[in-house]
Copies of this chain bind each other. A is one copy, B any other.
Amino acid sequence: MAKKQTRKQLIFEEAAKLFRDKGYLATSVRELADKVGLEPSSLYSHIKSKEEILQKICFDSAQKFIDGINEIEKLNATPSEKLKALIALHITIATEDSTSVTVFNDEWRHLSQDVLKEFLVLRRDYESRFKNIIKKGIELGEFKNINPSIALYTILTSVRWLHYWYKPGRQLSPTDIEKDICTLLIKGLKE
């Protein structure tokens, strides 16, 4: 049983890399089987389908964001502190497992219709909780009075390069990156 789980793990890891490098649609089951040294027919004793893997990657990543915001909402902290914690959450997830986050960000569109609906419900719920923190900050006069949707999407999108760029060998640590991005988004680039 332990051996079988390890093989399954390997299949998921190699699939994530292929999806990241070639895209989900362009990755064939034969290619994945080659990568892990199995015949395509044997691969199906470990996984149900190519989509099962995409689903797992997308929902596992989504869960990390949900777990994160669950904790952040509970903090006894100001909206600025919560926003900082949210930005840090995105940076941590993007730098800890950049392969999965790339697939999560770029390939979720290829989930089949019912699963996609479920995925979009999770995403909308996360975005609305993120936006509530921004709204609260505006309400309290802690944030500038800008359109909360514009602030939400600008901030959410602004960290969507790290998973391509960050490699553990970089001179900058995730903490350095977090400091600069928080400064830019919260205090602005201008002195």
Contacts and interface: CB of A to CB of B under 8 A. Distances in A.
Interface of A: 23, 25-26, 80, 83, 106, 109-110, 134, 137, 141-144, 146-147, 150-151, 153-162, 165, 172, 176-177, 180-181, 183-191
Given A109-B23, A186-B189, A188-B188, A154 B141 contact: no
A24 to B, nearest CB: 9
A189 B147 contact: no
Contacts of A109: 23
Q: How many copies does the complex hold?
A: 2
A151 B137 contact: no
A141 to B, nearest CB: 6
Contacts of A176: 147
Given A25-B25, A144-B190, A190-B80, A161 B157 contact: yes
Contacts of A142: 190-191
